[in-house]
Amino acid sequence: MKYIFKFLQTGGVPLTNDLMALIEEAYGIFEVLGDLSGNLTILSGCDITGTNVAPGIVAIEGKLYYFEGGSIISTVYIHKEDIAKTFEDQTTKTLIEKRTVRFGSGAVNYNWSDFVKLQTLKEIQSKVDNSVSRQEFEVALADIELLKLKTAPIVNGGVVWAFGKPVDEIPAGWKECTDIRGKAVVGWDPDDPDFEDIGNSGGSKTILLTVSQLPKIKFQYTRTLPWSSGSGGGFSGGGNQFNIGPSETNELGNNDPINIMIPHFIAAFIEPNLP
């Protein structure tokens, strides 16, 4: 303290204006607590029981005030009261300006719901002691930044995953990607016209071969021709030529579609469904 007042002495204490000015300066130092407390804070008291608030000390715009308490309503205000005293020259003047905070309305009102009760220094120190160190915090922050990079496709959308459980067990934050029902996912290839457009689909479970798709093969068979003696004494029809008409083999296939499905496992594809 800058000043230590020793009033408890014999001989009469001279209560002069200079002494009173020093006293005002001394207790004015405590106003720094208002600056530390901030605005609309509760330093002590103001405990709520039902719909009533107990008296206490509050800070409003960096100044400390006694709060009178009472039945809760939505607003409080700073009540001002001038206390007059008669001076030695028999004139009556305002000696004390009393300011307290009350429930109600005044020239300037403050919402009671905006007041916050400050924790004690002991409570704050306990939280500091149990908090992480700066180094631990920076390590955790680096891990979070790396995790954000890794999960960006999920957060931003556009990723689908195979889910090997029933669709009614899809976890929260995800949903079935119905666009991929009954389809396999193929990698994008900008150099292949069949796979150059992301989002396109195609293909079939079966194919039906056409003639042009058959392998190039030849069928050989032997045909026995009957001998016939004509007027020319040669083969049937005269002369030295065979007379052979068109011949066909029996049909070999049944024109059934070919199943081209590869061995597979059925799973639902899911995609992010984040808020």
pLDDT tens, N- to C-terminus, the chain (275 residues): 576 778 788 888 787 888 888 888 777 777 788 888 889 999 999 999 999 999 999 999 988 999 999 999 999 999 999 989 898 889 999 888 899 999 999 999 999 999 999 988 888 899 888 888 889 999 999 999 999 999 898 888 889 999 999 999 999 999 999 988 998 888 999 999 989 998 898 888 899 888 888 888 776 666 655 555 554 444 445 555 555 556 667 777 788 888 888 888 899 999 999 88
Q: Are 164 and 267 in contact (CB under 8 A)?
A: yes
Q: What is the dihedral of CA 241, 243, 246, 252, to 10 degrees?
A: -90
Q: Which helix (H) or strand (E) holds 101?
A: strand 92-103
Q: Are 158 and 188 in contact (CB under 8 A)?
A: no
Three-state DSSP class for residue 141:
helix
Q: Name residue 241's beta-bridge partners.
A: none
- As a whole number of angstroms, the distance between CA 66 and CA 98 comes to 10
- The long-range contacts involving 114-122, CB below 8 angstroms and separated by at least 24 positions, are 114/40, 115/40, 115/41, 115/42, 115/46, 115/58, 116/40, 116/41, 116/42, 117/41, 117/42, 117/46, 118/37, 118/41, 118/42, 118/43
* Nearest one of 66, 86, 87 to 78, comparing CA atoms: 66
Q: How far is CA 153 from the centre of its chain?
A: 14
pLDDT at position 242: 52
The 8-class DSSP code of residue 4 comes to -
Handedness of CA 64, 69, 73, 77 (dihedral sign): negative
Pairing of strands 109-111, 161-163: unpaired
- As a whole number of angstroms, the distance between CA 197 and CA 205 comes to 21
Count other Cβ atoms within 10 Å, centred on residue 67. Answer: 23
Pairing of strands 109-111, 258-259: unpaired
- As a whole number of angstroms, the distance between CA 226 and CA 141 comes to 98
Q: Which two tokens stand for residue 24?
A: 């005002």
Q: What is the dihedral of CA 29, 126, 56, 103, to 10 degrees?
A: 110
| Model confidence, pTM | 0.49
- As a whole number of angstroms, the distance between CA 125 and CA 242 comes to 117
pLDDT at position 221: 65
* Nearest one of 137, 77, 139 to 102, comparing CA atoms: 77
Q: Name residue 45's beta-bridge partners.
A: 56
The domain ranges of the chain are: 17-126, 131-155, 156-275
Three-state DSSP class for residue 124:
helix
pLDDT at position 215: 84
